[in-house]
Structure 1
Amino acid sequence: MLRITHLIKRYGNGEPVLKDLNLEVPDESLVSIIGASGAGKSTLLRCINRLVEPTSGSIELNGQELTTLKRDELRKSRRRIGMIFQGFNLVDRLTVMENVQCGRLGYIPYWRAALRRYPAEDIERAFHLMERVGIAKYANKRADELSGGERQRVGVVRALMQNPEILLADEPTASLDPVSSRQIMELLQNLADELKLPVLINIHNVAEAKEFTRRIVGMRFGRLIFDGKPSDLDDDAMDAVYSGTPSDEREDTGAAFTRAVTQ
């Protein structure tokens, strides 16, 4: 269970990016966060794993308060939070296997990682997960030789190698073509079911959010203004989330592709 209570994030003396935000994500949930650019979606995810420091409020993961953790405790807590990035965040010169093993850096001694002497059980699990997402054949290939969809699958496996208690995905499909985008969303949906893992996805593509996730949270100017099932996201709810927002911020090319092929 992720429980966020009265979360505020302010940069300097400016207007808060997150304003008294409250959110609960139970176990085995698949939740998408929608909203226009600048709504605070990425900031919210980065506050959860402390890549961004909250100004005030509480963030609890399975009963542990994350906002007060220091150094070693924070490092250990981050092992429990898998993160998938829009820009993949891979080391291009390393192989797929080596990038995947980066998910174990919080568990193994530094010398093992430096010498690339990974434990046998970690290698076995990596192959199992890579096989599951369809990239096992690329294990010895450099990351910069892969397509965007393949690179994001490496990012997914790297996050799963942490054995996380929650998975955060920050615009995981924004850098992908429409077909790869849908494949990644379907993969996250299936993994959430198979691993009984709560997944929180920040996404611009409303059509994919409605198709692949079971709960949608809408943000506007740092506040939660919608929280419900995809079927509840009607025109009025969309207007509340995106009022005054250009239509191209509501729907990216992946959504347009989805609409086109279903007409």
Structure 2
Amino acid sequence: MLKITDLVKRYDTGQPVLKNLNLEIKGESVVSIIGSSGAGKSTLLRCINRLVEPSSGQIQLNGTDLTSLNRSQLRKARHKIGMVFQSFNLIDRLTVMENVQSGRLGSLPTWRAIARKYPKEDIRRAYELMDRVGIAHYADKRADELSGGERQRVGVVRALMQEPEILLADEPTASLDPKTSEQIMGLLRDLSREFALPVLINIHNVTEAKEYTDRIVGMRYGRIIFDALPSDLDKDAMDSIYSGTPAADRGADVQQSTVSGDVGAVAT
């Protein structure tokens, strides 16, 4: 379970980007985060794996307080947090297999990583996952020879090679055409079911969020102002998320839910 409590991120200049944010995610579920640019969506994801350092608050993953870990402990903990990036973050000159195996770097001795002497079990696992997402025949192809959708599939497999406890996806379809975007969202949904893996996706495409995710979290000005089923995301909720007054400024409280099958919570 991911549990975020009173999370604040404040930069040296300006107001906090995240304001006492609370969120819980349980079990195999796909949760999307929507909101205007500047709402704090990417900052939230990057605080979870501490690519961005939180100013205060607590982030727990299956009982481990990620915010209290030192550098060595954090390196180990990050291995349990898979990350899929908008820009793919592949090494273009390396093959698909080599990029995929980079997901195992935190579990290998340094000499193996440098020499690219991957354990047979890791190679077998990589082929299984690549076959599952339809890129096994590209194993020996350089990453820069692939299409955007193929590159994103490599990124997904690389994250799964970590055997993560949660998968974070930061705008995973933003660089893709509409058809490929739907394929990637469907893939993330299906993989969440197959691996009993919670998936948290920062996404701009509300239509895809409603179709492919189990729960939608709406953010505005660093706060969660909507947290409910996709079917509950009506016009009023959309107006509140994208053009309305922040819930806190209306004197309203946001009652947030825990995903474990049914979900529900709205601004009141």
In structure 2, give the amino acid aligned to 1:136: A
In structure 1, give the amino acid aligned to 2:24: E
Deviation at 1:29, TM superposition (A): 1.6
- The equivalent residue for 1:210 is 210
Q: Deviations over 1:3-55 (max 9, x none)?
A: 00000001114200000000001111210000001100000000000000000
- The equivalent residue for 2:266 is none
Aligned residue runs from structure 1 range 133-148, under 5 A: 133-148=133-148
Distance across 2 between alignment mates of 1:105 and 1:195:
21
In structure 2, give the amino acid aligned to 1:234: D
In structure 2, give the amino acid aligned to 1:29: S
Structure 1: 5+ residue stretches without partners: 246-263
Deviation at 1:244, TM superposition (A): 6.3
Q: Deviations over 1:98-120 (max 9, x none)?
A: 00000001000111111110000
In structure 2, give the amino acid aligned to 1:70: N
Helix, strand or coil at the partner of 2:7? strand
Distance across 2 between alignment mates of 1:29 and 1:212:
11
- The equivalent residue for 1:201 is 201
Helix, strand or coil at the partner of 1:67? helix
Shift of the 166–99 alpha-carbon distance from structure 1 to 2, 3 Å rule, reads same
In structure 1, give the amino acid aligned to 2:223: R
Report the number of matched residues. Answer: 245
- The equivalent residue for 1:3 is 3
In structure 1, give the amino acid aligned to 2:174: A
Distance across 2 between alignment mates of 1:14 and 1:110:
41
Distance across 1 between alignment mates of 2:53 and 2:175:
26
Helix, strand or coil at the partner of 2:77? helix
Aligned residue runs from structure 1 range 41-52, under 5 A: 41-52=41-52
Helix, strand or coil at the partner of 1:196? coil
- The equivalent residue for 2:74 is 74
Aligned residue runs from structure 1 range 69-108, under 5 A: 69-108=69-108
Distance across 2 between alignment mates of 1:49 and 1:111:
26
Helix, strand or coil at the partner of 1:227? strand
In structure 2, give the amino acid aligned to 1:66: L
- The equivalent residue for 1:220 is 220
- The equivalent residue for 1:116 is 116
The answer to whether 1:64 aligns with 2:64 is: yes
- The equivalent residue for 2:181 is 181
Distance across 2 between alignment mates of 1:222 and 1:166:
22
Q: Deviations over 1:204-257 (max 9, x none)?
A: 000000000010000001000000000000000000000169xxxxxxxxxxxx
- Counting aligned pairs with the same residue, the percent is 75
Distance across 1 between alignment mates of 2:209 and 2:244:
21
The answer to whether 1:240 aligns with 2:240 is: yes
Distance across 1 between alignment mates of 2:41 and 2:170:
8
TM-score (norm 2): 0.90
- The equivalent residue for 2:154 is 154
Distance across 2 between alignment mates of 1:15 and 1:152:
34
In structure 1, give the amino acid aligned to 2:140: N
Q: Deviations over 1:170-214 (max 9, x none)?
A: 000000011110000000000000000000000000000000001
In structure 2, give the amino acid aligned to 1:16: P
- The equivalent residue for 2:23 is 23
Structure 2: 5+ residue stretches without partners: 246-268
Distance across 2 between alignment mates of 1:86 and 1:202:
10
- The equivalent residue for 1:14 is 14
Helix, strand or coil at the partner of 2:20? strand
The answer to whether 1:127 aligns with 2:127 is: yes
